[in-house]
Amino acid sequence: MSTGGHPAPARPSAAARFARAVGVYLRELGGEPTVVICGACAVLILSHYQGSTSFFRSVFGAKTQTHPWSGALPYFWWFGWSLLLYLAVPLLLSRVTRGSFTRRYGLGLGDWRAGLWISGLFLLVMVPAVYLASRTPSFAHHYPLAGNGAFTIKGPDGKPVVFLEVFFLYELAYFLYFVGWEFLFRGWMLNGLLPRFGRGGAILCQVAPFALMHLGKPEPEALGSIVAGVALGILALRTRSFWYGAILHGCIAVWMDLLAAWPYIRGP
């Protein structure tokens, strides 16, 4: 049918209409939030597979099974590989987003006065709470993650011997793992999503994967991670730094290990 002697414009095909509709969604998906959310998902997946203790054992297990530190080595792999992913991938992806990496993602000290006193309050609550939790069988069964491999080595006769040097290095690696962990959630994700979703939305966006990463932990700890994720997100925004949450998380994790391992380290 024509109008005024001119043919009517051809109606776009179904494929063209579909492509146009999809294009609208793709344009809305563009920008930093997409980079941050998809990048964080990729980091956590890579960490789960290539950064796992089972991956280490499948690749290096036969070569390290006679090593005196064989109980701890898979966990050094896990902590080190995850730390690298949690820091390096955001750094590389930040090249496609705008602004200063240090200022935008909370790598500075921010409001250090507020950070110190708020962290002190957190510790006043968490240190005794963790001590009470350490009296439960599920806690002692779960920590340290490496079991007695966190504080023993194989002696000349093949039997485990308490070795404080391996425990110190294990806990140092464990602490640094939480530096990377906190940067991923409360540095990169939180601040990267802040302009699009606001403070509340950004906090909730990073809480979801953070809580799911606690599946397999004792149930009270897994449920508590929801509250902890919100609280640590507020702390990071209030202080404009992820460091205070990283120090808190790392210290509490080491405290948990120390409480669980102490009866064995102390001996009869």
| Residue 13 confidence (pLDDT) | 72
- pLDDT (tens digit, 9 = 90+) per residue, 224-268? 999 999 999 999 999 999 999 999 999 999 999 999 888 888 766
d(CA 88, CA 188): 11
SS3 content of the chain, % helix, strand, coil (to 5): 75, 5, 20
| Residue 124 confidence (pLDDT) | 94
| Residue 220 confidence (pLDDT) | 86
Contact residues for 99 (Cβ-Cβ < 8 A; gap 6+): none
| Residue 25 confidence (pLDDT) | 63
| Residue 241 confidence (pLDDT) | 95
Q: How far is CA 146 from the centre of its chain?
A: 18
Domain range summary for the chain, segments of one domain joined by +: 31-266
| Residue 239 confidence (pLDDT) | 95
Per-residue pLDDT of the chain (268 residues), as tens digits, is 555 556 666 677 776 666 676 666 666 666 788 888 999 999 999 999 999 999 999 999 888 888 888 889 999 999 999 999 999 888 888 776 665 566 678 888 889 999 999 999 999 999 999 898 888 877 777 889 888 888 888 877 777 778 889 999 999 999 999 999 999 999 999 998 998 899 999 999 999 999 999 998 888 889 999 999 999 999 999 999 999 999 999 999 999 999 988 888 876 6
| Residue 209 confidence (pLDDT) | 94
Q: What SS3 class is residue 157?
A: coil
Residue 148 contacts residue 70 (beta carbons within 8 Å): no
| Residue 65 confidence (pLDDT) | 85
Q: How far is CA 192 from the centre of its chain?
A: 15
**End-to-end Cα spacing for the chain:** 97
